[in-house]
Structure 1
Amino acid sequence: MQVDVKLFASLREGRFESEKAELENQSRVIDVIKKYNIPLEEVHICLVDGRDADTEHVLQDGNTVSLFPPVGGA
């Protein structure tokens, strides 16, 4: 199956902004994180098709996975 992967802020450094990923059927968000060697502690927010999801969320063909680092500001 194919999903769109979008990385934000510091997660883009040395990686990409948006990319299509080929995954096995029944892959989860954690599988996307592992595929791109992103340390789990660097991922604070996961969205699937714009909705909050955890790392065990099972993906479907055509989903969009968005990953964000911890976000702060003053």
Structure 2
Amino acid sequence: MEVKVKLFGDLREGRFKEEKTELEENSRVIDIINKHNLPLDKVAICMVNSCQAEFGQVLQNQDTVAFSPPVGGM
């Protein structure tokens, strides 16, 4: 199956902004993190199709998955 992966903030450094990736059926969000060697401690926000998601969520073909590091303010 194919999913679109979007990276934000520091997670883009040395990687990509957005790309399509092939995964096996019944893959989970954590499988994308592992496939792209994203530092787990830097992934603070995970969204699937614009909804908050957990690392164990099973993905569907054509899902869009976005990862963001912690967001600072002030």
Query: Moved runs in structure 1, 4+ residues, more than 2 A?
Result: none
- TM (norm. structure 2) is 0.98
User: Where does the alignment leave 5 or more consecutive residues of structure 1 unmatched?
Assistant: none
The residue aligned with 1:42 is: 42
Identical aligned residues as a percent: 57
TM-score, scaled to structure 1: 0.98
SS at the partner of 2:47? strand
After TM superposition, give the deviation of residue 28 of structure 1 in Å.
Answer: 0.4
Runs of at least 5 residues in structure 2 that lack an aligned partner in the other structure: none
In the other structure, the counterpart of 1:70 is 70
Aligned to 2:61: 61
Partner of 1:16: 16
SS in 1 for 2:30: helix
Between the two proteins, the alignment pairs up a number of residues equal to 74
Question: By how many angstroms is 1:39 displaced?
Answer: 1.3
Which residue does 1:25 correspond to in 2?
A: 25
Provide, for residues 18-64 of structure 1, a one-character-per-residue CA deviation record: whole Å limited to 9, x for no partner.
00000000000000000000111110000000000000000000000
Let me know the Cα RMSD of the aligned residues. Answer: 0.4
